[in-house]
A and B are shown apart, each in its own frame.
Chain A
């Protein structure tokens, strides 16, 4: 197995307020291919900040992030957009989907951005929706789907671009407990069957229990890192 993310001495300071906020403090972390890792910790501990930096959505104040051997910390914004499209899948807490597109179109959309042809797009999107147990809702708009169903489509979309890894920031925060465990089980299955690497954040104990590796953050520092 090879390392796909290597974050070294990453710090992030927000200067928005009069008192600077140290969201991440000199954090070092690597992620191997095929991991199913939870970043956990109380609200405000820096989970979102960390995932954004690992995903090239935000720049660290200091330190370095390498994704598959490429240093993304110095990359230009426009190159980063392209880099994200090619390498990283994203699932956000909510409202991931384009409201006017159907579930199927939402999944196809990311492949359209990758200039995949129509037939491949359709086939792969249907395949992923089937694997995420949501193929029967392929023609539904997001507003016609429950929160859990929307997140399943979002995971399918994240996988559709064949990314090196998927970052999911509190994907279950808005879900009830059965949808939560359902989503996590499906993600775990994709991790196992498709060798998809998942890094997700949560502050929910039941979600942590599904992870194989748990990285615990506190005030922007890793306080424990356990693998089962």
Chain B
């Protein structure tokens, strides 16, 4: 009967309770959407630069990361790398020979990043094949190259044209060659889209005079969160040799840091939203208590314990909050699920403008369950704290005085 009483009390002032519930619903909806978009964009950034580019773990010759030159490359030992894939959680390894070169076509020249890759393994990790917008993908000892769309546009080159690449090879050797463009690939991140050139590992080793050498082995793993453990295990088995093994957080520290900063500003926004909603909730609790002074007085007079009365009020507040939160989540869950699977892409012009800032032009939405649970916790904690007022006012209520009013 106490919960019946609480439930009916909520609907005594339908309008006010509805406004309170709707404001909670709205806050949850807005907070979930904001957070989902933020975390979604972070996920997307991490995916683009880690999942589809860096790999979650990389193995290099010791010192390569600080001095990324071709001389810091190491012998491509597939037997040893196969051992790595036997560690639990590691799917496969992807060998790369990476370095810079100047790419020219006719009278246009631009610095570019050359990626010598094992086409099949590379595709397992970065799914380059899906990014192909023109031409065809590489074969294992292909003579041709894939050029990123932004770079191709800059050079005014397209499939079938031949690029001139100039660079510095292993131990100072000259690197020069002619490479027919076999395909054009489009990357989401402008940084990649404007400078990447993919070629077969064999061809890259030839170009850089780096026979049997690679600069890195990226690992494809089952779960990003497992990376630190896998790094530890690799380090243990490679302890005697001069390799460096880095997980993705070490590989993209700038990205992680800017995400953390951005996340703080997002949380501050949420806090402001909650304060606004909190004032509304408090107003309701205030009125709820004020207009029922007499009634509370009667209840205490006839023998209802204060604790019981406080419990009923808390129940009312909890029920109202729960309805608001549940409705909020019920609306936001399908909505955000839809947008999670159908990210919002910008129109061409807007996309260009946004990509100039170095970010991908898309609104992506995360479905991380903590988005929803955190909003629910936040609202509930706030409701309970604000409920302190009615609880306290019942605690010090004098029935005679409240009935005199």
- Give the B-binding residues of A (Cβ under 8 A): 52, 55, 57-58, 78, 81-82, 84-86, 88-90, 92, 95-96, 98-101, 105, 108-110, 112-113, 157-158, 161
Contact = CB atoms under 8 A, between A and B. Distances in A.
Given A100-B9, A100-B12, A101-B5, A85 B302 contact: yes
Given A98-B5, A100-B8, A52 B306 contact: no
Contacts of B331: none
Contact of B1 (A52, A88, A90, A105): A105
10 contacts: A81-B304, A82-B305, A84-B301, A85-B304, A92-B403, A98-B299, A99-B12, A101-B5, A113-B304, A161-B303
Contact of A110 (B295, B302, B308): B302
Contacts of B295: 95, 98-99
Contacts of B403: 92
A161 B304 CA distance: 12
A111 B5 CA distance: 15
B169 to A, nearest CB: 86
Nearest to B304: A113
B233 to A, nearest CB: 62
A92 B304 CA distance: 16
Given A84-B303, A85-B302, A92-B298, A101 B400 contact: no
Contact of A78 (B12, B298, B306): B306
A90 B302 contact: yes
Interface in B256-303: 294-295, 298-303
Interface residues of B, number: 20
Main secondary structure of the interface of B (DSSP, over half): helix
B399 interface: yes
A112 B1 contact: yes
Given A98-B5, A109-B1, A113-B308, A82 B303 contact: yes
Nearest to B308: A113
A75 to B, nearest CB: 13
Contacts of A89: 302
A49 to B, nearest CB: 9
B152 to A, nearest CB: 73
Nearest to B404: A48
B300 to A, nearest CB: 7
B316 to A, nearest CB: 11
B298 A95 contact: yes
Nearest 7 Cβ contacts at the A-B interface: A85-B303, A100-B8, A84-B303, A58-B400, A57-B400, A90-B302, A52-B400
B342 to A, nearest CB: 46
Contacts of B1: 105, 108-109, 112
